[in-house]
Structure 1
């Protein structure tokens, strides 16, 4: 640290201030209500207390993508990449040679979307 200049501005994003949760509200639920809250929280990848806090403070939760949706986006992204490579090849060598590949990818995309 001896080589660093004194008083020089720090680079990068400023550190996020961590606020300690120090006050609590006790909330009693029936077993079925707690199970419902816990299931909803798990679907969003959250703990039940975190879910309850967000619902209380914000009145709703911005939903994250489910694992199924993330997998679908990854597959579609890969297929889009393949399609771009085929388009590049078609422009280079002519459409007739790559038309079969285009039809196969279109069928894969249709099957992926129909399986949902």
Structure 2
């Protein structure tokens, strides 16, 4: 048993009709060939939370740089950018 909205039911019914199939047969065939993408793992979700926090920190440092001048914050910005690059490298190499 599967629940569908009226719109989904109509869409599947129309596609089944166009294919010359009953809706149940169309749905079974579609389910067999469907490509499902998994959600993020807990580890990946943690990486994205870390990246979001780093982006927030970078935004705050950028604001301070405008107020106090960039030279005073250059080292902090460079260190944070390195951390972000390392995390992005880890995320992209895990995406295999």
TM class, shorter-chain normalised? 0.5 to 0.7
Structure having the larger proportion of residues in helix: 2
Q: How many pairs does the alignment contain?
A: 65
- Normalising by structure 2, we get a TM-score of 0.55
- Paired with 2:37 and 2:82, the residues of 1 have a C-alpha distance of 33
Unaligned runs of 5+ in 2: 4-27
Matched, 1:85 2:60: yes
Cα deviation for residue 71 of structure 1 reads 1.0
Match of residue 96 from structure 1: 71
- Paired with 2:84 and 2:57, the residues of 1 have a C-alpha distance of 11
Cα deviation for residue 93 of structure 1 reads 0.8
- Paired with 2:55 and 2:33, the residues of 1 have a C-alpha distance of 37
- Paired with 1:113 and 1:97, the residues of 2 have a C-alpha distance of 26
- Normalising by structure 1, we get a TM-score of 0.47
Instruction: Report which structure shows greater RCO (CA 8 Å, sep ≥6).
Output: 2
Cα deviation for residue 57 of structure 1 reads 6.7
Where 1:79 maps in the other structure, the secondary structure is helix
Spell out the pairing of 1:1-116 with structure 2 (5 A cutoff). Answer: 19=3, 56=31, 59-115=34-90, 116=93
